[in-house]
């Protein structure tokens, strides 16, 4: 992260992400994170750095995209075609946006079609109706009610939109993982650089976004260990039902692993700053009066998650650090 100067500016560097920050961008981010779930392929079993030729793919501006970016490409393609797909009043209406048109918007360039199409249509309709009926058709009004609190916005989103209510029962306790609700907050924060619609006074309270890709990378980095039985299940490609003990354990331990990583990184940063200060004092004082101290690197669970996810997608775990790469866990769910 230090070598790449990894910070929120990386968010806008992807060619599919918006470069402007305004109310329309808020609508775009909401729809993207509304549909940010379940992109692993039934065909691409090996899940290597080179996608299977039949895997669901969307071509936009001459580039073919798979996984999460295929959905983003489909939305951007629709906008270029003059379809106001990110407008809540539009996607709430079956008359203005029939199911068949949604299917066409997410059309594939390959044999495999977008996973969970009917579920995507359902969550689009529900979210559109809620925004129109309760928030004047504008997600910016939800943000306003949160009063610059990331946790309050997560609460508003999960209490009003059922598809964001990512919860499970584990050993008699309710576990609230809230992957998509938190990444919605994170995307607003990163896009708007902690200003305007993305300003949050408690952004560091957000945890990582427990999906299927980041746990794979955490295993790769030796931050998680899997039992032989679990490794065998993953290797066979068996489904783990949403809410099942193994699935909740993978996601919960991933959250805690990132918290431990953050704690260690902050310790390292503090030690480096102390060393710099000690060196300066030995060399003849703290420097010129008014001299600025080096800017401290921002580190929270969001940036660590973004970094690990980007690494996992770019490298697709081809560099195995002496071990056979583990497969992602296979769970079909609207929650991630």
Measured distance CA(173)–CA(194) in Å, rounded: 34
Measured distance CA(72)–CA(57) in Å, rounded: 11
Q: Would you say 313 and 213 are in contact if contact means Cβ atoms under 8 Å apart? A: yes
Distances (CA, A) of 155 to 150, 193, 250, 261, 271: 9, 22, 24, 26, 36
Measured distance CA(25)–CA(72) in Å, rounded: 13
Measured distance CA(1)–CA(6) in Å, rounded: 5
Q: Would you say 201 and 148 are in contact if contact means Cβ atoms under 8 Å apart? A: yes
136 labelled catalytic = no
Measured distance CA(158)–CA(182) in Å, rounded: 10
Total length of the chain: 336
**Eight-class DSSP state of 175:** E
Measured distance CA(81)–CA(77) in Å, rounded: 6
Which value, to the nearest 10 degrees, does the dihedral of the CA atoms of residues 308, 57, 179, 80 take?
110
Angle value at C-alpha 256, between 40 and 325, nearest 5 degrees: 40
User: 33, 47, 166, 211: which one is catalytic?
Assistant: 211
Residue 64: strand, helix, or coil: strand
With the C-alpha atoms ordered 27, 189, 255, 174, is the resulting torsion angle positive or negative? negative
Backbone φ and ψ of 65, nearest 5°: -120, 140
Q: How many other C-beta atoms can be found within 10 angstroms of the C-beta atom of residue 133?
A: 10
With the C-alpha atoms ordered 195, 199, 201, 207, is the resulting torsion angle positive or negative? negative
User: Which residue numbers are catalytic?
Assistant: 211
């Amino acid at each position: 992260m230090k070598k790449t100067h990894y910070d929120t500016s990386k968010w806008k560097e992807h060619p599919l992400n918006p470069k402007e920050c305004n109310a329309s961008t808020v609508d775009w981010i909401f729809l993207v994170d509304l549909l940010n779930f379940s992109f692993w392929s039934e065909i691409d079993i090996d899940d290597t750095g080179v996608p299977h030729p039949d895997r669901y793919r969307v071509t936009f501006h001459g580039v073919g995209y798979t996984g999460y970016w295929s959905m983003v490409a489909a939305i951007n393609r629709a906008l270029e075609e003059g379809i106001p797909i990110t407008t809540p009043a539009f996607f709430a209406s079956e008359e203005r946006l029939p199911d068949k048109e949604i299917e066409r918007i997410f059309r594939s360039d390959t044999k495999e079609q977008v996973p969970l199409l009917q579920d995507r249509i359902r969550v689009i309709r529900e979210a559109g109706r809620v925004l129109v009926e309760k928030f004047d058709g504008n997600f910016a009004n939800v943000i306003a009610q949160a009063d610059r609190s990331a946790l309050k916005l997560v609460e508003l989103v999960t209490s009003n939109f059922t598809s964001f209510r990512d919860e499970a029962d584990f050993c008699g306790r309710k576990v609230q993982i809230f992957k998509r609700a938190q990444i919605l907050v994170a995307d607003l924060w990163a896009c708007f650089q902690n200003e305007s619609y993305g300003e949050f006074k408690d952004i560091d309270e957000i945890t990582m976004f427990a999906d299927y890709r980041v746990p794979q990378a955490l295993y790769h980095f030796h931050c998680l260990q899997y039992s032989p039985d679990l490794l065998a299940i993953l290797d066979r490609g068996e489904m783990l039902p949403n809410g099942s003990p193994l699935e909740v354990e993978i996601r919960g331990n991933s959250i805690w692993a990132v918290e431990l990583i953050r704690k260690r990184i902050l310790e390292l940063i503090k030690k480096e700053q102390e060393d710099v200060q000690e060196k300066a004092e030995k060399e003849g004082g703290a420097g010129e009066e008014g001299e600025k101290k080096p800017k401290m690197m921002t580190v929270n669970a969001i940036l660590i998650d973004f970094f690990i996810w980007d690494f996992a997608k770019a490298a697709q775990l081809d560099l195995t650090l002496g071990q056979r790469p583990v497969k992602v866990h296979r769970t079909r769910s609207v929650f991630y």
